[in-house]
Amino acid sequence: MNNIKVRFAPSPTGHMHIGNTRTALFNWLLAEKLGGRFMLRIDDTDRERSKQEYEDSLREALVWLGLNWTEEARQSARLERYCEVVEKLKAQGRIYECWETPEELELMRKRLIARGLPPIYSRNASALSDEECAARRMRGCRPHYRFRLTAGEIRWHDLVRGEVKYDAAKLSDPIVIREDGSFLYHLPSVIDDVDFGITHIVRGEDHVSNTAVQIEMFAAIGGQIPQFAHLPLLTGKEGKLSKRLGSLGVRELREEGIEALAICSFLAKIGTSESITPFYSLKDLAASLDFGRLGRAQPKFDEEELRRFNQVYLHGLPYENVKDRVSVSETFWNAVRGNLTRVDDVKIWHGVCFEKVKPVLEDETLTAAAAALLPPEPWSADTWNMWIDAVKKQTGKKGKELFHPLRMALTGISDGPELKHLLPFIGREKACKRLNGISD
């Protein structure tokens, strides 16, 4: 299976949002699982909307997520190739020119619907003579071009949806070239997939009807038809894809402190029959990929659920994964990670333990007694229990009346990691000063 090759083909008309992030992820995971290659193809034929800043942002997002590619191409550099194929298809009668204006096409569509008929293009333009077409050109009219579908059934086995079939007679011949000569999505995508040897195409279920059309195009140009997998589209918790969700991007999530592998773990398992659990390597996540476990219902994406999951992810995040990002020891990381909402929060607790803190004394009698009872160093794993038992016995305090004043004196913060984990890092000298109200 060493010829396996998938592609992610974003248009650089905006930043990476949660929907196309999921598509990129599933393609990458499939390539990784099957030992194949992952290709980045920039679909930049929309000259007006395509921007370099968006392309740079897409690349940056993919790298941050760990979805590295081994090959890349851009459609704007392949226009000659597309024109070459178009000329061959024109000669075969599979691409033909049409002269209707958008207004005329809309009127035709409405008339067919009013008669209870499917709004299928009539192909009337293909009956025009060369003289009639020339006369239209003389009047300044410009044609658009359509791909002619053949009669019969189009079917394929979808890795998510199972057997899929379409009656070609109920599909319109798709427009492949606009009046201004620019290409639409369908044909360049197929030509690229053939030329680059794409074996599997993973994309959203909104492309299912496109797949039916493109299977005919693959056959027309003599290409190998890939395997397809159409993922159910994400919806918001309101039951539809909100504008906010549609534009929610990797950049925003990253800036918020959501971890890359938390995003990948979440997106890979949402909408499956599996529980959403943290994966700490993309390789392990890829090994778990199973399209058979994807449900057909549209999964609901909840930003708050992702944020909560990110905390679960952080609380089990191995030191090996963050050692190059944090300037703390493995022992310290393991002591505080259970209370982090983002990796950078480790700096807060490192500061509490090793830098100057202004203690807050809520019960000076209690904290003074606790300071006097601090055992001498070195401290062991039993030191905390011995000390706190002695403080309880002498002061009669317990529960919140005991622990909250101690926490405020030792850290100046009302909640956080357990004091028994922090105290060894604070050390006896600092602890004694803070319990007596002395800023160290």
Q: Are residues 220 and 272 in the same domain?
A: no
Peptide bond into 378 cis (omega under 30): yes
DSSP string, 115-127: TT-------GGGG
pLDDT digits (tens, 9 = 90+) for 92-150: 999 999 988 888 888 888 888 888 888 888 887 777 777 877 888 888 788 999 999 99
The CATH code of the domain that includes 283 is 1.10.1160.10
What pLDDT, on a 0 to 100 scale, did the predictor assign at position 240?
Answer: 59
198, 269, 285 from 71: Cα distances, Å: 12, 27, 22
In a domain, 129, yes or no: yes
When mean pLDDT is compared across 202-211, 246-255, 410-419, the lowest value belongs to 246-255
Please give the Cα distance from 360 to 439 (Å, whole number): 10
Q: Which residues, including other chains, have CB under 8 Å from residue 350's CB and lie 6 or more apart? A: 327, 328, 332
Structurally, how many domains does the chain consist of?
Answer: 4
Same domain, 289 and 430: no
Claim to verify: residue 172 and residue 86 sit in the same structural domain: yes
Query: b/e map of 337-351 (b: 16 or more CB within 10 Å)?
Result: bebbeebebbeebbe
Do 85 and 65 lie in one domain? The reply is no
As a dihedral over the C-alpha atoms of residue 110, residue 113, residue 119, residue 123, rounded to 10 degrees, the angle is: -70
Structure tokens that stand for 360 in this block: 């807050």
The parent domain of residue 419 ranges over: 350-435
- Residues 143 and 99 reside in one and the same domain: yes
- Give the amino acid at 131: E
What gap in Å lies between CA 145 and CA 121, rounded to an integer? Answer: 12
> Quick one: 227 and 246 in the same domain?
no
Q: Tell me what pLDDT residue 2 has.
A: 64
CATH at 373? 1.10.10.350
The pLDDT assigned to 140 comes to 78
342, part of any domain: no
- The CATH number that applies at residue 22 is 3.40.50.620
Residue 362 and residue 316 share a domain = no
- Asked if the structure places residue 355 within a domain, the reply is yes
- Asked if 190 and 172 sit in the same domain, the reply is no
Residue 169 phi, psi dihedral angles, 5° rounding: -65, -15
Residues 94 and 23 in one domain: no
94 and 167, same domain (yes or no): yes
In this prediction, residue 247 carries a pLDDT of 60
How far apart are the C-alpha atoms of 333 and 343, rounded to whole Å? 10
CATH classification of the domain holding 91? 3.90.800.10
Residue at 33 is within a domain: yes
